[in-house]
A and B are shown apart, each in its own frame.
Chain A
């Protein structure tokens, strides 16, 4: 949206096949939305001031605005808090629309770099969040340098990697799964 302008949605951009794609990726009740706005009223993204928050995202998804949704990074700012799922009177499960959108975006590599970083850490170490300096922090808290997770058990971590290799990660990961 240009500064000071009015954000007009161009309905000719709508793509029905995108709606069907999202339904197949988990947003199976998307068409039931009546745009009551309850999700938007409780959404942290809206309170934080993101231009696209859950109500607008569900609306745009229903209109099949593929390019708008894949280009805007708001979808990746969703907290996954599920207030919208709790409060939706039509059982749209709005957060699952976000997940479906992210699944569609990742197939065309339209996602933030830190998404890949998290996936790479998950595959390599078994932990998506893997900050440097943890050994010292653990020692300060009187704990062994490594926690008793996949990080400490090479054989189990390899098995976990075998699990991930059988998922769609094998197709979409922009890093080697070896």
Chain B
């Protein structure tokens, strides 16, 4: 049985634990054993240690990476920031052995060591490369029944590609998440702003109105070009913006439509028969039509 260390990060366990439930359900259905990374901390997020000091960032990330190394597993994460921060810290340590050396001096004081043997996956690349689309298709109970999906891969799942162990053929024309949705019976066309940022993250903190206005531009294009049943993200931060951020725009009367939003692990878990209440427990935009359509597939 394939094993994987599930790196939870912060937003998934504390803001969107329905994504954690869904990921656990999905991995179990796929026959992947989840290894808990006990004691794992924040990735750390880009506004914290990476903005303070390079060695401090690498040390905080290496703490997490070393836990997976001790357990002999690779890491998977559903948050783009976690994927980006862990992989970039890893990249810096690989490229600059002196940083790795400093990090190991720090870790050594608490009895730990970072070797550099662990690989960090996101769910898109894991489903695409490790599980395989045909295998994924064989594990679902309900096909997506033509569900029209507007996909949002997420910035950190794409760039900087130099730091990532695996990636799209063309990061400015991503297709993997579209192919995953389509393998499960959905329809996931390209649209013109597919790689545009959702505006979540530092921009949302620093300039909330500008962030939401940027997001609205993207939503309007999605609505006009695709008019989808659902948006499907590969990143928990994007999910927060597409769901709660969109609900906020509606509340502020800046948006007169609603597009339901799900993380790819939620879509897959529901298609595999997960408890819908748990799998969508924190959704702000109603998902009734989406669930009905999926449950109508076979």
- A contact residues vs B (CB 8 Å cutoff): 25-26, 44-45, 47-50, 73-74, 76-83, 85-86, 93, 95, 99, 102-103, 106, 111-112, 114-115, 118-119, 122, 126-131, 134, 137-138, 140-143, 147-150, 152-153, 156-157, 159-160, 162-164, 166-169, 172
Contact = CB atoms under 8 A, between A and B. Distances in A.
B50 interface: yes
Nearest to B40: A149
A44 B203 CA distance: 9
A162 B11 CA distance: 24
A161 to B, nearest CB: 9
A129 B42 contact: yes
Interface in B26-72: 36-42, 44-56, 59-60, 63
Nearest to A148: B36
B18 interface: yes
Nearest to A133: B14
A125 to B, nearest CB: 9
Interface string B163-203: 00000000110000000000000000000000011010111
B84 interface: yes
Given A142-B21, A169-B49, 11 more contacts: A44-B196, A47-B214, A77-B203, A77-B207, A86-B171, A99-B50, A103-B52, A122-B45, A131-B14, A148-B37, A164-B60
Nearest to B45: A128
B221 interface: no
A104 B261 CA distance: 38
Interface of B: 8, 10-11, 13-18, 20-21, 36-42, 44-56, 59-60, 63, 81, 84, 106-107, 109-112, 155-156, 158-162, 171-172, 196-197, 199, 201-203, 205-207, 210-211, 213-214, 217, 275, 278-279, 281-282
A64 to B, nearest CB: 20
A158 B21 CA distance: 28
B53 A160 contact: no
A103 B51 contact: yes
A122 B41 contact: yes
Contacts of B10: 127-130
A131 to B, nearest CB: 5
B156 A118 contact: no
15 contacts: A44-B196, A44-B203, A47-B214, A73-B206, A76-B202, A76-B206, A80-B81, A82-B159, A86-B171, A99-B51, A140-B278, A147-B8, A148-B38, A149-B13, A163-B59
